[in-house]
Chain A
Amino acid sequence: MSSILQSVKRAQVDWRMVLMSGVLVVVALIFNILSDGIFMSPENLYNIAQQTAVVGILATVMVLVIVTRHIDLSVGSVMGFVGVLIAYLMYSENWSWQAASATGLAASVIVYAYQGALVSFLGVPAFVVTLGGLMSFRGAAYIVADGKTQPIADPFFLKLGGGFNGGIGTTASWTIGAILCVGLMLSMLSKRRAKKAYGVPTNSLFVDGLLVLLPMLIVVAFVSVMNSYQILNKPEAQGIPIPVLIWGAVAMFMSFLVHRTRFGRYIFAMGGNPDAAALVGIPVRRVTMLLFLLLSVLTTIAAIVAISRLNAGTNSLGNNAELLVIAATVIGGTALAGGSGTIIGSVLGALIMQCIDSGMLLLDVSIGTRYVVIGQVLIAAVVFDVAYRKWTGDVL
């Protein structure tokens, strides 16, 4: 037993993530008790999952922006602008969703190329550039459709936002769950094999087994909950909502960028020590520019999901979204000083925030109180972050 404890101690485990998962579970359990079991009903969990998707998608990329010591305050406004533009092209101009989305992406790329060039080539602080963007692109969102709401009717497009027809069904959900589980096992096996081949010390089999089994358990639990939510008069249960699927795919892609590519490594090096990054020959400007282009793509994806969820594009789409996104990122353990943050942390951060908000909504807490609480949760998260870093000696 003591040898197992030893191996757990020595293993490379991200205790912060373990702790945050614990917080999420505790929050869910408390709301579940207070709401007499409604909070953890499949219906509520399904709704929370799909409600978090838009903020969650943007939070994955905000992690990288904050890691490089920048910030993007314009993300909500750009999302509103792009969303209204896509909806306008489809509704008022009768474009196909493909053409409208491509045009929306192009607009987003131009917006972020402009902001990115100011930040990376002219050295204007991102805070100022995107603060200007926050106002300008909210105005642009108004100009596009002259402030008129643009409804969305395309049946395929509506599915992207989740809702009534937005689940992928039980069979597809189980298939995806199975693929994820197999992928988790294979990746751990190949990791262990590679470590052994190069003589790098590995975790004990017990720890690595745990590190595979726990995520697998979460995947299975998630799929089975989503599969047990059946809307009245529908022949089949919902399954995984499409926006959550998109969010998951985005988070996996971003994790891949962070851990497996030069781009990700450079992002963290630039955040940790910008001078050193330049001295060792990292193309800092090009990497910053690429980061802003990545922002443009993810903002477009988030905009599409947001207008599909809303069934319309309005000029207020994404109001305050930048604050929710930054809050989710910070609650997820990303340090505003730069150089430190994780994608999975942003996922947990977004979920914790949404759970607290939805939970209070379920308990009929007034909007004023909800804002008060969410704001203090943000501060509590940062206080914890500071204390945690002191405790582990990882002072920034």
Chain B
Amino acid sequence: MSSTMTPSQAAVGTDTSRCLVELRNINKAFGGVQAVDDVSLNLYPGEVVAVLGHNGAGKSTLMKMLAGAYPIDSGDVVISGEKVSVRTPSDAQALGIESIYQTLALADNLDSVANLFLGRELLTSWRTLDDHRMDAEARKVFHRLNKNFTNVRIPVRRLSGGQRQVVAISRAIYFNARILIMDEPTAALGPEETAMVGNLIQQLKAEGVGIFLISHDMHDVFALSDRVAVMKNGRMVGTYNTKDVTEDEVLGMIISGKKPDGKAQAPRHPTTTA
């Protein structure tokens, strides 16, 4: 990556060039409702940023814009120092952005293999679906996540919650995500599967993947995240190092939008720190 970088980009400063994602002054309105109001947020390689807030705080909307599911009204998305336009989910995928949605975004009537490759099917030289290659590749990924998951050719509606989650997560792993958005990844899971997701996040962090984690589970947030970013009514309340704040302070920000006293926000958006 660094070999393709132009001198002007490198001159911006180590902080910015290292930055994986910068969301700058993002706005989004649905009708008259300002869902996301001038929000800036960044993400570094190998970092987990927990995005928190009430239902309707705008966190999912912000993440869906990064994933290309909603168009952005105004504001910039900068990936690895380069301004990009993310207008469709395919744009986001091409930039290495993968999403795991709360609803899992699975076609229930198709099997696990078809779901893993949905929208990005492997083709033969005749431009037809290469079913057997997809089958073999999928079994490898699923096996890595859950060794007992072998009934991969039945419709996913007949799978357990954990197996469905494996399929959704496999998409992110198979296509080598650089940036991963996880929306409530453990909401529907049992303890064993929650631990699996936790391990996976640690593993991906070590590989340098940047992760936005949307979660309501404070235990997960404090166990997994490096920073917390709290939103309320479409605005960013503040971004803190997870180790600098307590659970009560985070809950205070989520509920009342009150910033904790005497705590430094860190690290702020590079262009606003100057």
With a CB–CB cut-off of 8 A, which chain B residues contact A198? 132-133, 135-136
* Minimum C-beta distance from A207 to chain B (A): 15
Selected interface stretch from A135-143, A265-273, A366-374: A265-273
Q: B90 to A281, Cβ gap below 8 A?
A: yes
Q: How far does the alpha carbon of A6 sit from the alpha carbon of B108 in the complex, in Å?
A: 28
Across-interface contacts of A249 in B (CB, < 8 A): none
Select from chain B the residue with minimum beta-carbon distance to A264: B129
Most buried by A among B99, B110, B114: B110
C-alpha gap A199/B150 in the complex (Å): 13
A197, A260, A280, A396: the one within 8 Å of B118 (CB): A280
Taking a contact as CB atoms closer than 8 A, the residue among A12, A265, A276 that contacts B105 in the complex is A276
A binding-site residues for B, Cβ under 8 Å: 12, 194-195, 197-200, 259-262, 265, 268-269, 271-273, 275-282, 339-340, 393-396
How many Å lie between the Cα of A211 and that of B209 in the bound state? 47
B-side contacts of A279, CB under 8 Å:
67, 69, 89, 99, 101, 105
B107–A272 touching, CB < 8 Å:
yes
Partner of B109, one of A195, A259, A271, A282: A271
Shortest CB distance B245–A (Å): 32
Complex Cα gap A271–B119 (Å): 14
B121, A262: Cβ atoms closer than 8 Å: yes
Q: Is the CB of B89 within 8 A of A200?
A: no
A280 to B136 alpha-carbon distance, docked (Å): 21
Instruction: Please give the residue numbers on chain B whose beta carbons come within 8 Å of chain A beta carbons, in ascending order.
Output: 67-69, 88-90, 92-93, 99, 101, 103-110, 114, 118-121, 123, 127-129, 131-133, 135-136, 139, 153, 155, 157-158, 171
Chain B contacts of A265 at CB under 8 A?
110, 114, 118, 121, 129
Chain A residues with CB under 8 Å of B153's CB are 12
10 closest cross-chain pairs (CB), A and B: A272-B109, A281-B89, A198-B136, A272-B107, A339-B109, A276-B105, A281-B90, A269-B107, A280-B119, A260-B128
Contact check, A268 vs B89: say whether CB atoms are below 8 A apart. Answer: no
Chain A hits for B128, CB < 8 A: 260-261
Select from chain B the residue with minimum beta-carbon distance to A196: B132
Query: Cβ of B106: which chain A residues have Cβ within 8 Å of it?
Result: 273, 276
Q: Is the Cβ of B109 less than 8 Å from the Cβ of A340? A: yes
How far does the Cβ of B140 sit from chain A's closest Cβ, in whole Å? 10
Contact between chains at B69 and A393 (CB < 8 Å):
no
**8 additional contacts, CB 8 Å, given A269-B110, A280-B171, A339-B107?**
A198-B135, A269-B114, A269-B118, A273-B109, A276-B103, A281-B89, A282-B119, A396-B109
Q: How far is the CA of A393 from the CA of B106 in the complex (A)?
A: 18
Q: Which residue of B lies closest to A335 (CB)?
A: B109
| Contact B114–A200 (Cβ < 8 Å) | no
Cβ-neighbour of A273 out of B69, B89, B99, B108 (below 8 A):
B108
Cβ contact within 8 Å between A273 and B114: no
Point out the residues of chain B lying under 8 angstroms from A262, CB to CB.
121, 123, 129
Q: Which residues of B lie under 8 Å from residue A339 when comparing CB positions?
A: 107-109
Cβ contacts under 8 Å, B108 to chain A: 272-273, 339
Contact with B136, one of A200, A268, A272 (Cβ below 8 angstroms): A200
Chain A residue at minimum C-beta to C-beta distance from B91: A281
In the complex, what's the smallest C-beta–C-beta distance from B117 to chain A, in angstroms? 9
Q: Could you tell me if A200 and B101 are in contact, using CB atoms closer than 8 angstroms?
A: no
Contact yes or no, B107 A276, CB < 8 A: yes
Q: Are B110 and A268 in contact (CB under 8 A)?
A: yes
Which chain B residues lie closer than 8 Å to A268 at the CB level? Answer: 107, 109-110
Q: Is the CB of B129 within 8 A of A194?
A: no
The residue on A at minimum CB distance from B137 is: A198
- B95 to chain A minimum Cβ distance, whole angstroms, is 12
By CB atoms of chain A within 10 A, which of B106, B107, B127, B136 has the most?
B107
Q: List 23 A-B contacts (CB under 8 A).
A: A195-B132, A198-B132, A198-B135, A199-B136, A200-B132, A200-B135, A200-B136, A259-B129, A261-B129, A262-B121, A265-B114, A268-B107, A272-B108, A273-B105, A276-B104, A276-B105, A278-B69, A280-B105, A281-B68, A281-B89, A282-B118, A339-B108, A340-B109
A295 to chain B, nearest CB (A): 22
Residue of A272, A282, A339 ringed by the most chain B CB atoms within 10 A:
A272
B146 to chain A, nearest CB (A): 18
Complex alpha-carbon distance, A270 and B199, angstroms = 33
Instruction: Write out the residue numbers on chain A whose beta carbons fall within 8 Å of the beta carbon of B93.
Output: 281
Which of A268, A280, A340 has the most chain B CB atoms closer than 10 A to its own CB? A280
B171 nearest in chain A by CB position: A280
Chain A nearest CB, measured from B171 CB (Å): 8
Partner of A393 from the list B67, B92, B101, B158 (CB cut-off 8 Å) is: B158
